[in-house]
Chains A and B, each alone.
Chain A
Amino acid sequence: MPKLLRKFLGLILLMTTIGLATCQSMSKAEPMPVQANMTL
């Protein structure tokens, strides 16, 4: 595999995995909702 293509693929993978994981983490940076007991 040409070096440039390899580096490009690596960059895409890093941007996808790290970028996505941290952005998801940012959007979910709130406490896990406690399930309310809705039964009567």
Chain B
Amino acid sequence: MNTPNAQRTPQRFVKKSKPWFSSNGLLLTILPFACIPATIAAFSKGNLLGIIINAGGYALFLLAAKLLQNGLIAEMAYEAKRVTRAPKWPLKTLAAFIVALATFIIAWLGAHNTFLVSLAFGGGALLGMYLNYGFDPRTEKSILGGHGYTTEEITQTIDQAEKVIFSIETANNQIRNSEFNKRIDRICDTARNILVELEANPAAIRRTRKFLLVYLEGASKVTAGYASTHQQAVLTSDLEQNFRNVLDSIETVFKEQKEKLLEEDLFDLDVQMEVLATQLKNEGVV
């Protein structure tokens, strides 16, 4: 398949650093703080409606703060990825409407403003939420191409691979051998680079999926197996050497495959996959 060079040699994706300050919905907990003394005052004066309005209003603000926090987290995850679906629930938008409703109710029934003035309070709060936090992203992020896979399938593949990489890293933490630790770290780095390539060029998904299934799963199983044996302290030099051989193969092949994925050398890739699959079987890994 002819793909432009820009797609075949993408730049490494670097996540944006976090902003210097992010309230993460804390503002919605602090701003309506006057609701608490208002509730206490309503209690002391025996004003039932005041108690319900102020306590209920503050509860609504807290709910909105929680939804907003989750919405901001979902948005950060969305921004960090090149290929992904829009967040499932429009949490930020929902939080904005809840804030508007709570402000309207407190302004009308709590502060005894007229209906229209209270509506203006609610509308102002909604506009403030929109300007300060924005609403949720609703568009799917995808790179067009004739790869025939949906964004959901690509996202699932990447998520699944990230989980496997994480499990390899977890197993690696249990291994007390700096040589193996470094090698496994390098394998994980290369795997992450492959995922970056996949995000940039989803046309490679067919080959990458197969690659990730065979190699990454194999690397995960062999690392977890070694870590477990390592903890039981029944290591023999043969076992260590076997593990070293398997890591050697995985590491070498990972690097080669990454280059081949970029070169779109389909034939070589399939052949090497068969070779590694056989080796993993022989070593009793798969």
A binding-site residues for B, Cβ under 8 Å: 6-7, 9-26, 28-32
Q: How many A-B residue contacts, CB cutoff 8 Å? A: 114
Q: Is the CB of B129 within 8 A of A31?
A: no
Secondary structure at the B interface, as helix, strand, loop or mixed, is: helix
Contacts of B111 in A (CB 8 A): 21, 24-25, 28
Closest to B39 in A: A29
A18-B54 CB under 8 A given contacts A10-B128, A24-B110: no
Closest to A13 in B: B128
Chain A nearest CB: distance from B63 CB in Å? 14
A22-B106 CB under 8 A given contacts A10-B131, A30-B50: yes
Q: Closest 6 A-B residue pairs measured CB to CB?
A: A10-B132, A10-B131, A13-B128, A25-B110, A24-B111, A26-B38
Contacts of A30 in B (CB 8 A): 41-42, 45, 47, 50
Chain B nearest CB: distance from A3 CB in Å? 9
Q: Is the CB of B131 within 8 A of A13?
A: yes
Checking B45, B53, B61, B132 against A11 with a beta-carbon cut-off of 8 angstroms, the contacting residue is B132
Query: Once the chains are docked, how many angstroms separate the CA of A14 from the CA of B31?
Result: 8
Contacts of A22 in B (CB 8 A): 31-35, 38, 54, 57, 106, 110
Query: Once the chains are docked, how many angstroms separate the CA of A11 from the CA of B131?
Result: 8
Query: Once the chains are docked, how many angstroms separate the CA of A14 from the CA of B111?
Result: 17
Q: Is the CB of B103 within 8 A of A21?
A: yes
Closest to A14 in B: B128
Contacts of B129 in A (CB 8 A): 10, 14
Say yes or no for B107: interface residue by CB 8 A criterion.
yes
Say yes or no for B113: interface residue by CB 8 A criterion.
yes
23 chain-A/chain-B pairs, Cβ below 8 angstroms: A6-B131, A7-B131, A7-B132, A10-B127, A10-B129, A13-B131, A13-B132, A14-B128, A15-B31, A17-B122, A17-B125, A18-B128, A19-B31, A21-B107, A21-B110, A22-B34, A23-B34, A24-B112, A26-B38, A29-B38, A29-B45, A29-B54, A31-B47
